[in-house]
Each structure stands twice: as structure tokens, then as C-alpha cells.
Amino acid sequence: MRASVPKEPSIHQLRLYLTLSEELHFGRAAARLFITQPALSQQIRELEKRLGVPVVERTSRTITLTEAGQALLPEARAAVAAVDRLRHVADAQLRQTSGRLVVGTMGAEASMAHTRAVLGLLQTRHPGTTVQLVDLGLGDHLAALAQQEVDVVFLRPPVTDDIELHHLATEPRVACLPAGHPLAALPRLTLAQLSGVPVVSMPEQVPRLWWDFWAVDPRPDGSRVRYGPLVTDMESLLYTVAAGEAMCFLPAAARDYFPRPGIRYLDVVDLSPSTSALAWLRRRRSESTIKAIRHAAHEATRQGLTDAR
């Protein structure tokens, strides 16, 4: 009789295992997963049965990963990430066939004249296209595009090489300083005057290319920027600045869209401007809905509809 071959583990079981590996406690992991502790324990035992090796050492109070559990951890992460990517690509293709376009925006881009102009022309030229706007966190825009969670993004460059852009508008960048900072009393600044003032920091997953531009790191004299507290969205950024813990550089439109107590925006005379652009993945440029919004962006630019805020 042929020996039975263990079943392959399910992606669901691998997700449970990854959560358990982070919590190292069945109760906390089960609460985080919104399932009962016995159900989680049963699924982990079934995973071990299917893998043929124990992945956790159980004690009365806590658990630890076995040597096999440690070795399997990166492979489990990779398998779950691969399935997530597969799902995102499938969803993107489904959107194409159904005429649905997911449009990412960041900061105040959804309110800008160029965004409204492009989306208005898209709806006029392609009334059957359904547009879903998604507000993306600071620095999440490139990952959302790469993982096909969104189809296009209205963003502020720079971007990575796998992304194409259509330029929509240009405007100055300004310094965003705590109102109580000595430099905030000046009418305008230079980058040299801002040397040594800490800049808010971004999470590790934010592409360095993008944040180096917005932090102006390095400075024109070659000096590196000193970073302050980590921020993850616009409100935490503005709070950190208002609290006097760091500064940042933002598009000049921030004066209108993000006025806050405790913050002052100042012109920086030797700071290069920022641009606004529509972005899409190079390999997806010919897909129908993406082609449609690309053409709308070109038409809006030709008609001069993207110049004003």
C-alpha cells in the first residue's frame, strides 16, 4: 500500500501561524484573529500534521517557535505574500473587464484642480467607467501602485523606474516649521539656515528615493539630514511639527489645505519646486481604463485645465 502523502498547508493556516509567531501566545493571537483559542490551536495542530514537523513548543503559559518553526517562518511569509500579490493582480484584471478604475490620491491631491480636471474629462469621455477614489497614507502610494491595489495614483514625484508619469502641475515647496521656532519669525529662509533642524522621519517601507527628495537629503553642501520622530500620515506629521519636535517640506498648497495652530509655512528661496503627476505601472499602460485616464490627463494638459489650484 502506498504511503499517504501529507496534505499541503492552506494559506489560511499559514496566516494563523504568522500571527501566532508574532504574538507567541494563543490567547492574544486568537483575539487578534477574531477566532476562539481552541479553534486556533486546532488549526496549528493541523498545520503541523500537514507539514510533518512541529512548529511551536507549547507550555502552560506561553509558546516558542521550534527550530523547524523558525526555519519555515520566512517561507510562510513569502507564500502568503505571493498569494496576496496573485489576488491583487486578479482583482486588477477584474476591474479592467468591469470598467472600474481605482484611483489613489495622497495628501490634498484629490482636491487639486488638475485632479478634478482629469477625472472630469475621464467621466465625460468614458461615462461607463466607474471611478473609486482611495486616500493613501504618506509613502504608501508607490507600494499601492506596485501591488496593484490601485490602478493609477495622483502623486508627487519622484518615483521608481517601473512607474510612468504624466506631469500635471508645478509649484514651490515650502518649509513647515513650529510657530515657536526662531526661524519661523523670518520672512523667508535658505536651506543653509535650516541646517541641523530635524526633519520628520518616514517608515522603512517608504522608498528612500522619494523621502530623500522631500527631506532634501543630502543638502546642497553635501551634509546629511538629522531625522526626528516617525510619522505615518499627514495629521501625525502636522502634530509632530506643531509640537516642536521636527520640521518638514511640503508643497506650497499646504498653506491652503493644511493650516494648523502652532505651524508656520515659509518660502525657501533656494529650494527646488515640486511637481504633481498622474502615475501608473509601465507594464499596465495599455490596459483599457488606464489608457483612458492617461488620454484624459493629456487632454486636460492640452486644454490648460491643470494650471490652477
Q: Span 59-73, mean pLDDT?
A: 86
Do both 156 and 217 map to the same domain? no
- For residues 183 and 164, state if they share a domain: no
Q: Write out the H or E segment, with its range, that includes residue 63.
A: strand 63-65
Mean pLDDT over 265-277 rounds to 97
C-alpha dist (Å) from residue 28 to 34, 61, 73: 10, 12, 19
In the chain, the percentage of residues whose pLDDT exceeds 70 is 95
Q: Are residues 198 and 156 in the same domain?
A: no
Residue 309 has pLDDT above 60, yes or no: no
Task: Please determine, for residue 5, whether its predicted confidence score (pLDDT) is greater than 60.
Answer: no
Q: Which domain holds residue 252?
A: 173-272
**Does residue 156 lie within any of the structural domains?**
yes
> Judging by beta carbons within 10 Å of its beta carbon (0-12, 13-18, 19+), is residue 68 exposed, middle or buried?
middle
Residue 216 lies in a domain: yes
User: How many residues in total does the chain contain?
Assistant: 309
Provide the grid cell at 238. 502636522
**Reported confidence tier of residue 3, pLDDT bands at 50, 70, 90:** low
My answer on whether 299 and 165 are in the same domain is yes
Query: In angstroms, rounded to a whole number, what is the distance separating the alpha carbons of residues 138 and 231?
Result: 8
For residue 94, is it within any domain?
A: no
Using the predicted structure, report yes or no on whether residue 89 has a pLDDT greater than 90. no
Task: Give this prediction's pTM.
Answer: 0.73
Query: Do 257 and 186 lie in a common domain?
Result: yes
Banded model confidence at residue 1, pLDDT cuts 50, 70, 90: very low
The more confident residue out of 155 and 89 is 155
Q: What is the mean pLDDT of the chain?
A: 90
Burial of 230-258, coded b for 16+ CB within 10 Å and e otherwise, reads ebebbeebbbbbbeeebbbbbbebbeeeb
* Residue 2 pLDDT > 70: no
Same domain, 178 and 241: yes
Instruction: Say whether both 265 and 203 belong to one domain.
Output: yes
Q: 98 falls in which pLDDT band (50, 70, 90)? A: low
| Predicted local confidence at residue 243, as pLDDT | 97
Are 281 and 143 within one domain? yes
- Examine the domain organization and report whether 284 and 223 are in the same domain: no
For 63, counting Cβ atoms within 10 Å of its Cβ (0-12 exposed, 13-18 middle, 19+ buried), the class is buried
Instruction: List pLDDT tens digits, range 236-251.
Output: 999 999 999 999 999 9
Q: Extract the C-alpha cell encoding 109.
A: 491631491
Q: Give domain status of residue 85, yes or no.
A: no
- Number of compact structural domains in the chain: 3
Residues 155 and 289 in one domain: yes
Q: What is the CATH number of the domain that holds 235?
A: 3.40.190.10
Are 159 and 293 in the same domain?
yes
For residue 91, tell me if it sits in a domain: no
For residue range 186-225, what is the model confidence (pLDDT) as tens digits? 999 999 999 999 999 998 888 899 999 999 999 999 999 9
d(CA 285, CA 46): 44
pLDDT of residue 128 exceeding 80: yes
The helix (H) or strand (E) run that includes residue 144 is: helix 141-146
Residue 4 lies in a domain: no
Q: What is the mean pLDDT of residues 71-88?
A: 86
Q: What pLDDT, on a 0 to 100 scale, did the predictor assign at position 60? A: 65
Q: Give a yes or no: residue 74 inside a domain.
A: yes
Beta bridge pairs of residue 64: 57
**What pLDDT is attached to residue 306?**
75
* Best CA proximity match to 207, nearest among 138, 266, 107: 138
Q: Cell 491631491 maps to which residue? A: 109
Q: Which residue has the higher pLDDT, 273 or 204?
A: 273
138 pLDDT band (50/70/90 cuts)? confident
Strands 263-268, 173-178: pairing is antiparallel
pLDDT digits (tens, 9 = 90+) for 257-270: 999 999 999 999 99
248-251: strand order across its sheet: 188-189, 263-268, 173-178, 248-251
Share of the chain above pLDDT 90, in %: 66
In 107-235, at which residue ranges do the beta strands (DSSP E only) sit?
Answer: 130-136, 152-155, 163-171, 173-178, 188-189, 199-201, 227-230
Query: Is residue 93 a part of any domain in this protein?
Result: no
What's the rounded mean pLDDT across residues 132-152?
89
CATH number of the domain that 33 lies in? 1.10.10.10
* Of 104, 309, 140, 308, nearest in space to 233 by CA: 140
- pLDDT value, residue 271: 97
Same domain, 195 and 130: no
Number of C-alpha atoms within 13 angstroms, CB side, residue 229? 15
